[in-house]
Chain A
């Protein structure tokens, strides 16, 4: 939350500034600093669109194309979600980002006992293809890309997205889905895991392999430093772990005998924007460079466009406060500025009321307008990578690069990312860091406006998004109806085939698509996996 440690003397003069990643900031930077770090334009930056892409992946940045805005949306029934999608599109949003309710994220049907009280609460409930048919009705799936914010059962949702597209007459080759599909980060933070590490990573490999052949415009995995950072990781750790996690998915697909250039270009990243703004901008610039170098040098990627770190830079949830919530509107604007100065391809913002409720239409619109005014009003499209060449920014970018590499090295030394996640090494470390941050805020060492300084003044009343118990009932009714109308024989047959394919270790995707098309439920498909794979055992905290 709070962003840096400031060491001051009794006159409030700043003696030292220490960023979360451990970098000390000097009061003044000059050409000497660039000399000291051996700054070389071609090696360290190069022009935008040129390896190592520090300055961005497109030669003209936002001059050629503004960022895609993709507010996280979805709640209640598929009908309500469809309405909200259309509302956001009519307000000029250029991509969709589906929020699923927790039962869906965890592979339970709406009528399952485990789903009680949660159906449609934090996102849209999805049981069968019928729900996708309603949610995506009248939306041009060949024109708009859709983020599917789901992980443990991303394979099922991607299959369902293909099924709905085909149902509406779109060629799967023309549709573009971005399932989040990053299970290792769920095990570090956010917690929506189901299966153990090994089969969970195998499922991700299946989606990548399948997309390559059937849905080439799909981005099958969005590697999320985002939630790792939300859980207490430093900016350097966020990038280090995200890259190592991406490498784990790459290794799974390479083991199947593919050429890396055939698939890695569709990887994307979801990274966080809260924190000290200079540290974040340097983080994104360094991340692009390290990802490109990782792919080129470690994996021998040949095509430059496959080395792009494409990403959604946004969110910023942990930075927002419950105290004085209206301040979060301003925070959001600065976080979005960070994303724009760092050249994000796609963005989204947490809304100011998220410490209270899931966003109301009004708060979601304020976030969208914040993003739009940066592009269209205040000048963020004017020139690409405007901070390049700054003595401070280039020094900091180089220092961030070193910090990220140090963090990567620590994990590799420990035995690799899979081991570090499986036995809870990373989880315990970020939990400890999160605790240290809270202590810093309580002691006043880390400053947070409205929380431990400038606390005076009344807080506004926040309008709450009310959970509608009726939508849960409606969803369960609609599921019953689907079950009455579908062919039980087809459902049994396709589930049986899914089971055999899973046991045989085949790519499960075509079997999932078959199940979806005959209206098998998400819960039943997930159960096939639960029975064969078992469940992830959470490492202990202490």
Chain B
């Protein structure tokens, strides 16, 4: 699907079985209001489904929302598959119930930004804008 390349395109995804989506939907609306193009995956998506949407929609960022505590194994799986598919240029950020001790571990996996519950929306928006600037 062709899209306006001037617009930043973001996939907000809910991986796994968890259905708590208030946070994901709030972030999706905030990014949209900030002028970005946002795709919301809907609930209960497998990592393969998320990768497929990311490829089809040619998004710049993938934001995962995880509330169950399974953020490390889920993110690990996503990062591995991104490499396999040769699309590791897509930047990944993670939100949800994330204890601060896990943030370095997520960064090690290659996650660019971690936004635990309670992070101001503006912080996520600024992060995406900064990461999009060409160096």
Inter-subunit contact A117/B26 (CB<8 Å): no
The answer to whether B122 has its CB under 8 Å from any CB of chain A is: yes
Output the nearest chain B residue to A323 by Cβ-Cβ distance: B118
- B62-90 residues at the A interface, CB under 8 angstroms: 68-70, 73-74
| B43-A538 in contact (CB<8A) | yes
With A102-B17, A117-B73 already in contact, the answer to whether A322 and B118 are too (CB < 8 A) is yes
Question: Among B29, B73, B74, B99, which residue has its beta carbon within 8 angstroms of that of A432?
Answer: B29
A interface footprint on B43-70 (CB within 8 Å = 1, 0 otherwise): 1101000000000000000000000111
CA distance A102 to B66 in the complex (A): 13
Minimum CB–CB distance from A188 to chain B (whole Å) comes to 11
Residues facing B in A100-131 (CB within 8 A) are 102-103, 105-106, 108, 114-118, 121-122
Chain B interface, number of residues (Cβ within 8 angstroms): 34
Please measure, in the bound complex, the distance between the C-alpha atom of A321 and the C-alpha atom of B17, giving whole angstroms. 24
A372 at interface, CB cutoff 8 A:
no
The answer to whether residues A186 and B19 also contact, given A121-B69, A435-B25, A438-B30 and a CB cut-off of 8 A, is: yes
- Given the complex, which residues of A lie within 8 Å of B20, measured CB to CB? 190-191
Tell whether, in the assembled complex, residue B70 and residue A117 are in contact, meaning their CB atoms are under 8 Å apart: yes
Complex alpha-carbon distance, A102 and B68, angstroms: 9
User: Looking across the interface, which residue of chain A has its beta carbon closest to that of B73?
Assistant: A117
Q: How far is the CA of A304 from the CA of B68 in the complex (A)?
A: 42
Contact with A along B4-31 (1 / 0, CB 8 A): 0000000000101111111001101110
Q: A117-B73, A432-B29, A438-B26 are in contact. Are A451 and B118 (CB under 8 A)?
A: yes
Q: Is B117 an interface residue (CB 8 A)?
A: yes
Q: How far does the Cβ of B56 sit from chain A's closest Cβ, in whole Å?
A: 16
- Contact present for A435 and B117 (CB under 8 Å): no
Q: Roughly how many angstroms separate A186 CA and B21 CA in the complex, as a whole number?
A: 11
- A438 — nearest CB in chain B belongs to which residue? B26
Cβ of B28: which chain A residues have Cβ within 8 Å of it?
A: 541-542
- Report how many residues on chain A are interfacial, defined by Cβ distance under 8 Å: 44
Q: Is B103 among interface residues, defined by CB-CB distance under 8 A?
A: no
Which chain B residues lie closer than 8 Å to A358 at the CB level?
69
B36 at the interface (CB under 8 A from A): no
Q: Judging by beta carbons under 8 Å apart, are A435 and B29 in contact?
A: yes
Extra contacts besides A191-B21, A357-B97, A431-B26 (7): CB < 8 Å:
A117-B73, A355-B118, A434-B25, A462-B99, A541-B25, A541-B42, A542-B38
A-binding residues in B (CB < 8 A):
14, 16-22, 25-26, 28-30, 32, 38, 40, 42-44, 46, 68-70, 73-74, 97, 99, 101, 116-118, 120-122
Can you sample 19 A-B contacts with CB below 8 Å? Answer: A103-B17, A117-B16, A118-B17, A121-B68, A189-B22, A190-B20, A191-B14, A191-B19, A191-B43, A355-B97, A355-B117, A357-B69, A431-B22, A435-B30, A442-B121, A464-B101, A467-B69, A467-B70, A542-B28
